[in-house]
Amino acid sequence: MKMYEIREMTNDELKKRIIEEENNLMDLRFQNALKSLANTAKIKMTKKDIARMKTELKLRELNLSKQENNK
């Protein structure tokens, strides 16, 4: 997932997507442990996507609090 796609999402969509991706990551880890995961790079990509989404949420929270302090 690209950053421009993440920036287009609302906060609720991001939170929902983070939960979905964390569940997906857990499934990927189980598949990897059972040796049924063909592409192990999916684990790394999923972790990075989760981090990007969490980073965007945190930036939005910081910008919101910064705007409130300036008022």
d(CA 66, CA 61): 8
List the one residue out of 10, 17, 19 whose CA is nearest residue 60: 10
Per-residue confidence (pLDDT) for residue 4, from 0 to 100: 93
Per-residue confidence (pLDDT) for residue 65, from 0 to 100: 87
pTM of the predicted structure, to 2 decimals: 0.90
Per-residue confidence (pLDDT) for residue 8, from 0 to 100: 95
Per-residue confidence (pLDDT) for residue 66, from 0 to 100: 87
User: At the topology level of CATH, where does 3-70 sit?
Assistant: Helix Hairpins (1.10.287)
Per-residue confidence (pLDDT) for residue 68, from 0 to 100: 85
Q: What letter would DSSP give residue 9?
A: S
pLDDT in tens, 7-55: 999 999 999 999 999 999 999 999 999 999 999 999 999 999 999 999 9
**Domain assignments of the chain as residue spans, ordered by start:** 3-70
15: enclosing H helix or E strand:
helix 11-33
